[in-house]
Structures are given as C-alpha cells and as structure tokens.
Amino acid sequence: MNDLTETKIIIPEHAKKIALAKMDLMKQWFEFRKKSNNKFKADYEFVQLYNTSNSNIFSILGKISRGTLHRWKAKLGDSEDYTKLLPQYKYSSINEFRTSLTDEETKIFMGLLLHPNRISIGKAIALAKYNLTQKNQSFIPSDITFRRYAKWFKDNNYDQWVLMRDGEKSLADKVEPYIKRDTSLLEVGDILVADGHKLNFQVINPFTGKPCRATLVGFLDWKSTALVGYEIMLEENTQCIASALRNAIINLDMIPKVIYQDNGRAFRAKYFTDDKGFNELGFNGLYSKLGIQIVFARPYNARAKVIERFFKEFQEGFERLLPSFTGSSITNKPAYLMRNEKFHKQIHNEYIPTVDETIKMIDMWLSFKNSQPCSNANGKTIQEVLDERQRQNIDLNLLDDLMLATEVKTIQRNGIRFLGCDYFNERLYGFKSKVLIKYNMFDLTQIKVFTVKGEYLCTAERVTETHPMAKILGTVEDLEDFKQKIEKQKALKRRTINSVKKYLPVDDVKFIETQINSEMELLLGAEAKLPPLKEERKINGKPIFKNNLEKYEWFIKNEPQNEWISEFKQSKEYKIYYE
C-alpha cells in the first residue's frame, strides 16, 4: 500500500471514512497515555472507556482491543498519514477493476458485450459461461461477477461502450463534449439553417391527384428560431431548396449572410435517390450571386442542427392534429392504420388536404409558434425578435433564378396548361414552341415563362372561366369580364392581320378587318352589321365571294330562289350568324 494516491487508485469513501476514524482514535489514545505513568494500565482503561462509549468513532469502528491499537501504531510509525490505516482491501485503479474474472474470461465476455448487434448483458453472460464450459473449465464464475464487471466497464469506459454498441453518431451525440454558441452575437437574418423534414401526414399531389407524403424543405433563422421560408417538395426536385430560400428572402425582405446546412452529400442523399453532393447541384453560383456564404456542418454532428428541435415541435404540435397523420415510424402509427382496427377506421376522418390548404394551415401554426417566447432573447417572443430585422427592400426580379423550375411545356391555344389550369399572356400568342416555366407553390396565380435557352418571355396569369350567359344571367362584373376577353381576342386577331398585310392585297386586308368587327358585334349580342360589298370582281357575270356570308347576301338580293340558299340555312355557320 505504499505510495497510495487518490489520483491513481480508487479509494472507496467508506474505506476513507474508516481510516480517518482510526486516525482520530489514535490521537485520543496518545493524549490519554500522556496523563498516566503506567502505560500498560492506561491502555486497558482507554480500551474499556472506548468500548463502553456511544461516540461517532465507535459507530464506525466498533469494539477494539489493546493489540489493535498497537498494531495501528506500528503502521503509522512517526508519520500522520491516515492512508496507512486504510483497510487492507485490494483497491481498483481507474483502468482496472478488482474482479475474480481471469483475462481469458474477461476477453470472451467483453467480446460478446461490445458486439455491434448490442447483445444484452444477460445473454452475453449465458453465452460466455457456455463457451467456458465447452473449453472444459472447471470453475465457472457466477452471473453477479459478470454483471459487476459489465457495470464497472460501462461506468468507467462509457465512450468505448457507446462506440462499439451504437456507433460513431451516438458517440458524438451522447459522449463527446459540445460547444455552446453565444446567440446574442447574432442578428436576425445573419444565419439561416437549412434542412428538410418528411411530413408525417398525407397531402393531395396536384400533379397526380393522389395522396402522398411530401417533404418540407425549410430555412430557419438562427437568432429568432422562426421558420422564415419553406417549400413543399412533392417529388424529387433539387430546385426546391433554392425555391425555399427564395421564400425565406421574400419573407425576411433581406438577403442572409450565411446558409448553414447539413453536409453537402448528406443533404442531397437524405431526400434524393442519387448521391450527388450539394456542390454538384449548381447552387453555389446562385448563392454567390446574392452574396451568400454556404457553411456545411460536420458529418454526424446533429448538435449543430438547431432546426431539428423545430421539426420535433412541428411534429408534436401540428402534424398529430391532422386527420391524415400517418405517424413518424411503424411503431408510431395511429390506430386507424393498424390491422383489424375496424372501429377506428369507421370513425376516422378521411380528409386529406391539398398543397394549398396545407400551406395555409402551416402558416396558421407558424403564427402560433412565433407568438411563443424566444429562447435566444429573454422577455421577447419569436415574432418580436423577427420584427427587429433591418429590411432591405429586395427586388423580386433578382430572385427569379431561385424559383422552382418544372419540366418543359408546350404552348397551346389558351397558353400553357399547368396543374389543371391555363396560363396566358399576349406574349405567348402565335407561339407553338416549347418553353420552360418557373413557379412558386405559394402563389399559383401566375407563372414565369422562359425559352428553353433561359431567355425571359413573360409572366403568364391564370385564365379565369367566364359566365356561360353573362349578358342575361351574369352580374355586371361577369359581363365586363366577357367584354374584356372579347376585346382581347379582337386585338390579337388585328395584330395577326397587321403582321401579314405585306403578304395580302389592300382590298383583302380591309375586308378581313370589317369581318372582324362584324363577328365581335355578333358575339357581344349587338345587331349584326355586315360589311358592305366592295367593288365586285366577276367571272362569267357572277361575283367572286370571299365567304359564305357574302355569297348568301348576294343570292338573297339577286337570286332568292337559288337552291343554295336553302342548303346554307341548314348549316351551322348560318345558325351562328343569323339565328
């Protein structure tokens, strides 16, 4: 026991308490002996007084004899080191445990216990004992001996225990020390944290009309802890990340300084099937153009992703309230999705929201979330911290590159067909080529149209439907809407005529123009005012007619008995213009 120190040897507290009590008793004995000339008699008197006392030392040491005192005195010698009076136990060092297990037994047992398959302690003991039996070992340690060693190893080598049984990520999350960041040094908009979350409820996919689980790609402001921008990703589309950032910039009305997100390749692999890294997606150029720095978190560093806490609250406080909630795992599914749960299936609300409804509900929940206290600013709510930002009056046209891009579309008569609606702009009139559209799921009233080479064409607005009988059954607004659309058709047709004048004789152009006016007046319900016949061009004494209407008018005046008139009256053209 020489050179026994607490830094190298584990001294149990109860052993230290006993040694200190012995030292106190020895000092009392020395003082008692000094008062007596007969040391032998004094020793017996001291032992008798002590053994009949009710002192604190007696409660620790119990009864002693004269020989015990002299034995302790011999151990002390001339020193006053209480550690020389420690009980004669075999003490465990920090790296060694006092156990009856041999090195071979320990190796077999720990080989099972530290297996990546996380074998339980009880099963590891059973297998270790069986292994020793198969080796014809005569003495097999008891279960409690193995358990004590396992407990000691876990308590004193927790890093090894976690690494071998749970892996590197758990080692980083549970054992390694973490760095505390001073958020008071940040301002709103300095750092946006990006990540994605697989929604635990179903929405209606507008592209297919079927229920699906979408992904929310979000940007969270580190200072205020508010989700300032997000995008609903229905299928694999890398542009959703940029679109979510665009929404964040619009809501903040400022461009962030830093985007902090998951490791580049991990961010991609978490939501997409291929393994291209973030640096291969083409976003670096977009972010650099806006003056944004990208910072990637270290792999397996979940502590750095402050947005994970937000998604946890989002799951518990929002997703669980929706009828289409599906659960975050197999063990977390609601009752109606379990087998043989007929009662819950009968009472279950089958409502599944659309993307537009989902966005509105998320925005409502975010209003509630932002009314809660901010963890990074005492005495203020999240919204109050968010309102303190310095706005920059961002020009939205600068953010067009961040809009969500879709597949190439073909221009039809009514413009571009997208999500069951038509989008039209006069700039698209006369085009029959393919174009690229960009849109924002938060505002589907319009889309931006580009050539396949990326040249901006126009912003097409969603075409609204017209009242079937606006003049008779519709309101003033319905009639005005109808007239405006007729005028637009008229203007487009005139534009076409003006563009082809150089290819037609002057007389033909004038006739077409008057024909347009007549058709528009008929469509608007006005009295038909057909254009007067111009100077006739004749063949064999009969004029050359430009159309059936002109031919009909000529026959009525000049040959009312002609059989062609009765045939024409049966045609659809006659019914449109005369009935």
Q: Which of 151, 175, 199 is the last residue of a domain?
A: 175
Band of pLDDT at residue 515, cut at 50, 70 and 90: low
Neighbouring residues of 364: CB distance < 8 A, sequence distance ≥ 6: none
Q: Please give the pLDDT value at position 528.
A: 39
Q: Reply yes or no on whether the pLDDT at 266 is more than 50.
A: no
Q: Please give the pLDDT value at position 34.
A: 86
Band of pLDDT at residue 338, cut at 50, 70 and 90: confident
Same structural domain, 419 and 301: no
**Residues spanned by the domain of 43:** 13-85
**What is the number of structural domains in the chain?**
5
Same structural domain, 312 and 409: no
Q: Please give the pLDDT value at position 54.
A: 82
Angle at 233 (CA atoms; ends 227, 237), nearest 5 degrees = 120
The C-alpha atoms of residue 527 and residue 578 are separated, in whole angstroms, by: 10
Identify the DSSP state of 529: -
* 472 or 103: which leads in pLDDT: 103
Band of pLDDT at residue 347, cut at 50, 70 and 90: confident
Q: Please give the pLDDT value at position 531.
A: 45
pLDDT > 70 in the chain, percent: 80
Q: Convert the pLDDT of each residue in 544-574 to its tens digit.
A: 676 777 788 888 888 888 888 888 888 877 7
* Averaged pLDDT, 267-291: 60
* Averaged pLDDT, 241-264: 85
Q: Reply yes or no on whether the pLDDT at 366 is more than 90.
A: yes
Highest average pLDDT, of 35-39, 100-104, 110-114, 176-180, comes from 110-114
Same structural domain, 221 and 277: yes
Residue 181 lies in a domain: no
Residue 398 lies in a domain: no
Q: Please give the pLDDT value at position 283.
A: 60
Min mean pLDDT across 142-156, 245-259, 366-380, 445-459 is at 445-459
Amino acid at 543: P
Same structural domain, 198 and 168: no
Same structural domain, 292 and 359: yes
Same structural domain, 260 and 307: yes
* Averaged pLDDT, 502-510: 62
The C-alpha atoms of residue 305 and residue 549 are separated, in whole angstroms, by: 75
Residue 412 lies in a domain: yes
The two structure tokens encoding residue 546? 């430009």
Residue linked to tokens 């607004």: 477
* 363 or 516: which leads in pLDDT: 363
Q: Reply yes or no on whether the pLDDT at 400 is more than 80.
A: no
Angle at 372 (CA atoms; ends 369, 376), nearest 5 degrees = 110
Q: Please give the pLDDT value at position 92.
A: 53
* 477 or 436: which leads in pLDDT: 436
Residue 93 lies in a domain: no
Q: Reply yes or no on whether the pLDDT at 244 is more than 70.
A: yes
The C-alpha atoms of residue 44 and residue 24 are separated, in whole angstroms, by: 18
Q: Please give the pLDDT value at position 512.
A: 61
Amino acid at 102: T
Same structural domain, 300 and 230: yes
Nearest alpha-carbon partner for 219 in 136, 306, 290, 159: 306
pTM: 0.57
Min mean pLDDT across 97-101, 245-249, 302-306 is at 302-306
Residue 440 lies in a domain: yes
Same structural domain, 197 and 119: no
Q: Reply yes or no on whether the pLDDT at 357 is more than 50.
A: yes
Q: Which of 59, 85, 111 is the last residue of a domain?
A: 85
Q: Which of 387, 418, 449 is the last residue of a domain?
A: 387
Band of pLDDT at residue 505, cut at 50, 70 and 90: low
Band of pLDDT at residue 303, cut at 50, 70 and 90: low
Q: Hey, CA dihedral for 500, 506, 512, 513, is it positive or negative?
A: positive
Residue 285 lies in a domain: yes
Band of pLDDT at residue 4, cut at 50, 70 and 90: very low
The C-alpha atoms of residue 214 and residue 358 are separated, in whole angstroms, by: 11
Same structural domain, 227 and 335: yes
Min mean pLDDT across 109-113, 159-163, 202-206, 439-443 is at 439-443
Q: Please give the pLDDT value at position 369.
A: 94
Q: Please give the pLDDT value at position 3.
A: 46
Q: How many CA atoms lie within 13 A of 465 on its CB side?
A: 5
Q: Please give the pLDDT value at position 73.
A: 87
Q: Please give the pLDDT value at position 530.
A: 41
Neighbouring residues of 475: CB distance < 8 A, sequence distance ≥ 6: none
Residue 394 lies in a domain: no
Amino acid at 222: W
Alpha carbon of residue 256 to chain centroid: 19
Min mean pLDDT across 233-242, 280-289, 322-331, 393-402 is at 280-289
Q: Please give the pLDDT value at position 123.
A: 94
Band of pLDDT at residue 419, cut at 50, 70 and 90: confident
199 φ/ψ sector (left φ>0, alpha ψ -120 to 50, else beta)? beta
* Averaged pLDDT, 528-538: 46
Q: Reply yes or no on whether the pLDDT at 514 is more than 70.
A: no
Band of pLDDT at residue 525, cut at 50, 70 and 90: low
* Averaged pLDDT, 38-61: 88
Same structural domain, 345 and 198: yes
Which residues share a beta bridge with 293? 258
Buried b (16+ CB within 10 A) or exposed e, 259-275: bbbbbbbbbbeebeeee
Q: Please give the pLDDT value at position 263.
A: 63
Q: Reply yes or no on whether the pLDDT at 5 is more than 50.
A: no
Residue 311 lies in a domain: yes
Q: Please give the pLDDT value at position 381.
A: 94
